[in-house]
Amino acid sequence: MVCLGNICRSPLAEGILTSMVNPEKTEVSSAGTGGWHVGNQPDPRSIAVAQKNKIDITNQRGKQFSTYDYEVYDHIFVMDSANYRDVLKLANTEAERAKVSMILDEIFPGEAVDVPDPYYGGDNGFDDVYKMLYEACEKIVSRLTL
């Protein structure tokens, strides 16, 4: 799960998908394309909306996406089109490029819909993001049988 800062959207996506998969079969992680928040806890507003939905993301720490992630993970879900471009820049092969998709393609295939960045908005933004990510993660789990 990849966003820009790895403190708002992708930590929520990581927490939601983790809550839905068999941990013996599937490893879920998240990262940001930017490095400003490496080592930081998720944004308190993401922690709060997760908590409200019985998901604990307080143990997550910010990471920056790297080429190494292409070797480790089979699927890379990005939150918006800027993330998509930045992540693809780090791909070395066609097989790596094929791992990347916009997460809301799960709900709106081929429409390139962004998960809006709630960082500069109010708390409502986080509830909306949670709902979108929850729906997308349900599709991911059933499509990939995780």
Q: Please tell me whether residue 4 binds ligand 4NP under the rule CB under 6 A.
A: yes
**Nearest Cα to 52, choosing from 139, 123, 136?**
123
The residue annotated as part of the active site, out of 9, 43, 45, 137, is: 9
The residue annotated as part of the active site, out of 43, 69, 80, 117, is: 117
Residue 51: alpha-carbon gap to chain centroid = 17
Select the residue interacting with ligand 4NP from 7, 100, 136, 140 (CB under 6 A). 7
Residue 77 near residue 103 (C-beta atoms within 8 A): yes
**Distance (Å, whole) CA 37 – CA 97:** 25
For ligand 4NP, the binding residues in 48-107 under the rule CB under 6 A are none
> What type of residue is 83?
N
Residue 14 near residue 28 (C-beta atoms within 8 A): yes
Is the Cβ of residue 36 or residue 108 nearer to ligand 4NP in the bound state? 36
**CB 144, min distance to ligand 4NP, A:** 23
Q: Please tell me whether residue 44 binds ligand 4NP under the rule CB under 6 A.
A: no
Stretch that binds ligand 4NP, among 5-13, 52-60, 93-101, 133-141 (CB under 6 A): 5-13
CA pseudo-torsion sign 79, 81, 86, 91: positive
Residue 118 near residue 45 (C-beta atoms within 8 A): yes
Active site residue 85: no
Active site residue 61: no
Stretch that binds ligand 4NP, among 7-15, 18-26, 67-75, 85-93 (CB under 6 A): 7-15
Q: Please tell me whether residue 36 binds ligand 4NP under the rule CB under 6 A.
A: yes
